[in-house]
């Protein structure tokens, strides 16, 4: 055992691991036993994500209702699958509140609080009547074909 290892009170294995000869020796053993260094795996061709349809899985008061959102200058527009549509405009002068959320006003005069989450999902909450809209960032995927894994690929 070297003087340095004795001075630091290291076990023999810890001392051996610090030796500059250990790594080349281990690599040589890998080549001899394993028949060579492993080649990197080939990248699989991943098909692009195919949306199920043109609608997101939104919610209105915690009830599922398909929608499509669109960022418009100074606001947000939501088109619902049942045919309804609403545009929400940023309220000038109010800006962001203490929690960092925006204030929006719909065309009927309702005031909504917009929260943008880390994942990119959005919620709009009407504090006057408690209505809540949830809009996810992404479109849902088509169900997987037989033999495929059911995860979305982004």
Q: Give 70-87 pLDDT, tens digit per residue.
A: 999 989 999 999 999 999
pLDDT at 90 over 70: yes
Q: What is the pTM of this model?
A: 0.59
CB neighbour class for 102 (10 Å; exposed up to 12, middle 13-18, buried from 19)? buried
pLDDT band at 138 (very low <50, low <70, confident <90, very high): confident
Q: What is the C-alpha to C-alpha distance for residues 137 and 120, in angstroms, rounded to an integer?
A: 5
User: Residue 135 has what pLDDT?
Assistant: 95
Number of H helices, E strands in the chain: 3, 9
User: Residue 145 has what pLDDT?
Assistant: 66
Give every CB contact of residue 25 below 8 A, 6+ residues apart in sequence: none
């Amino acid at each position: 055992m070297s003087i340095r290892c004795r001075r630091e009170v290291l076990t023999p294995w810890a001392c051996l691991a610090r030796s500059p000869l250990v790594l080349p020796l281990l690599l040589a053993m890998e080549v001899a036993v394993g028949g060579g260094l492993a080649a990197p795996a080939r990248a699989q061709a991943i098909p692009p994500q195919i949306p199920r349809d043109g609608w997101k899985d939104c919610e209105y008061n915690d009830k599922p209702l398909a929608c499509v959102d669109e960022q418009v200058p100074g606001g947000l527009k939501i088109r619902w699958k049942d045919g309804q549509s609403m545009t929400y405009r940023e309220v000038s002068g109010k800006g962001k509140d203490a929690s960092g959320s925006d204030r929006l006003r719909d065309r009927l005069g309702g005031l909504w609080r917009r929260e943008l989450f880390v994942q990119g999902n959005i919620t709009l909450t009407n504090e006057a009547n408690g209505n809540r809209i949830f809009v996810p960032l992404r479109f849902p995927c088509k169900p997987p074909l037989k033999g495929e894994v059911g995860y979305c690929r982004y």
